[in-house]
Amino acid sequence: MMVISAIMLISMIVLEFVFTSNVNYSIALNERQRLQAYYLAESALSLMKVEIKMDKQVKSQLASLPIAANLPIDLSQPMCQQFPFSTTLLRNFFVGGTLPLMAEGNETVAEGAEVAAEGETGAEKGAGVTTFETESAQEFLSFDGDFDGICVDEASKINLNYFWALDPAQQTLAGVSQYDTYKTMIVNFLKQERFKKLFEGIAPEKIKEVVGNIADWADKNDLINELGYTTRGSEESLYKGDEMQKPKNAKFLSLDEVHLVEGVDDTWFMPLEDMFTVYGDSKINVCLAEDDVVWALILSYANQNQSITPIDPRNTEARKKLLDAVKLNCTSAQPQASKIAADLDAALGITSGEQQQSSGGFANFITTEPRFYSLKLTGQVGETVVNIKTVLDIKDSDPKKWKMLYYKVY
């Protein structure tokens, strides 16, 4: 019995040792894969920085050419959106000689790639569309795992932190302040027919109140501000619960903080969250923004001008006409905001003398230069995935001086 008991005890100790060793090995392997995935995501970040820098340089050079205005292609989209970096893209390009993402949406580009491959000499067929030798490319891409990255211009969204820079009490000669104009724009955006189902059971006046609460949370005063320079009590009167849920009268740190605002409901805000941002300046990049965002901006700009008939938001014909007027000059390498604003004024029938003195014209609300980029980068090794989200201010020409406004690993 003593021998059997000893054998059983030794067996249990060995099994425990084997189990612990397997667990430790799995933990070490997962940690190694996580580290590899993290550096793959960092590699995607570095490559996308290079792509963004090249995009700026190429467009700057194209804009100086006489034929820039007559190019038959749309140059408004950032290169990092048209050709997002990924191992699949790189392996197909350097080793396979094809670009499937380009071929899907552009038959001319696909045909050109085929012609280039057929005209290659001294290289194997299928490796023609590359600037490196096939062997070097294969060696470079022989690492384990994959990465990819996508970019979004934050200026193409509605910036909720714009209210922090405005004074709700600042009156203008035209009677409409930028503070009220921006609130009206967001209301127009939320009231569009496409989002009607998100606001079922919510009265239109309630939407105005919610937008007002968002503005009051970020603006610098502690009063509830109504349209037309009127106020009605303290902002804190709307928040009687948690001490943490009170207006900051400061900038939103993230979109997650918007959920603390009175009246903001996940049922409608979550589906529209990608249309809002807390980064950038007050101007919207109308060349990259969704049509719904541009249309809301046009409505708020046009309806503040008393010299023209108010536009019905449901008028599809007027919507198409005015959106086309804005998008017409967006295809060049460096679109001019002043030209876009002039074309919109012409479509609205507004003369230069009738432009709102408070806003300085539509050009004061828009931009055409991508500056604040949100990058989502992913590295994957086996089943381990690491994501990096960062926001860059690329105002400086030197990428080493680009400001990182946000960085998160998850």
Indicate whether 284 and 321 sit together in one domain: yes
Cβ contact 182:163 at 8 Å: yes
Indicate whether 210 and 263 sit together in one domain: yes
Domain count across the chain: 2
Residue 212 falls inside a structural domain: yes
Indicate whether 120 and 211 sit together in one domain: no
CATH number, domain of 307, equals 1.10.40.60
Residue 403 falls inside a structural domain: no
Indicate whether 132 and 234 sit together in one domain: no
Indicate whether 218 and 292 sit together in one domain: yes
Q: Among 78-87, 256-265, 272-281, 363-372, which stretch is predicted with the lowest mean pLDDT?
A: 78-87
Give the distance, in angstroms, between the CA of residue 131 and the centroid of all CA atoms in the same chain.
Answer: 31
Residue 324 falls inside a structural domain: yes
For 188, phi then psi, to 5°, come to: -60, -40
Which has the higher per-residue pLDDT, 98 or 219?
219
Categorise residue 349: left if φ over 0, alpha if ψ from -120 to 50, beta otherwise: left
In percent, the amount of the chain with pLDDT more than 90 equals 35
Examine the fold and report which residue of 367, 385, 405 is the final residue of a domain before the chain moves on: 367
Residue 48 falls inside a structural domain: no
Indicate whether 188 and 140 sit together in one domain: no
Q: Which two tokens stand for residue 143?
A: 């690492």
Residue 251 falls inside a structural domain: yes
Range of the domain at 282: 158-367
Indicate whether 116 and 180 sit together in one domain: no
Task: For residues 178 and 158, give the distance between their C-alpha atoms in angstroms, rounded to a whole number.
Answer: 14
Q: To the nearest whole number, what is the mean pLDDT of the chain?
A: 81
Q: Where are the alpha helices (DSSP H) in 119-170?
A: 134-140
Indicate whether 110 and 255 sit together in one domain: no
Indicate whether 103 and 222 sit together in one domain: no
pLDDT at position 205 over 50: yes
Examine the fold and report which residue of 100, 121, 144 is the final residue of a domain before the chain moves on: 144
How far the first Cα of the chain sits from its last, in Å, is 55
Which has the higher per-residue pLDDT, 353 or 222?
222
Question: Given this model, what pLDDT does residue 63 score?
Answer: 72
Task: For residues 408 and 232, give the distance between their C-alpha atoms in angstroms, rounded to a whole number.
Answer: 39
Cβ contact 213:262 at 8 Å: yes
Indicate whether 201 and 278 sit together in one domain: yes
Summarize pLDDT for 23-80 with one digit per residue, the tens.
888 888 889 999 999 999 999 999 899 999 998 888 888 777 766 556 656 677 888 8
Indicate whether 120 and 166 sit together in one domain: no
Residue 255 falls inside a structural domain: yes
Residue 150 falls inside a structural domain: no
Indicate whether 238 and 120 sit together in one domain: no
Residue 121 falls inside a structural domain: yes
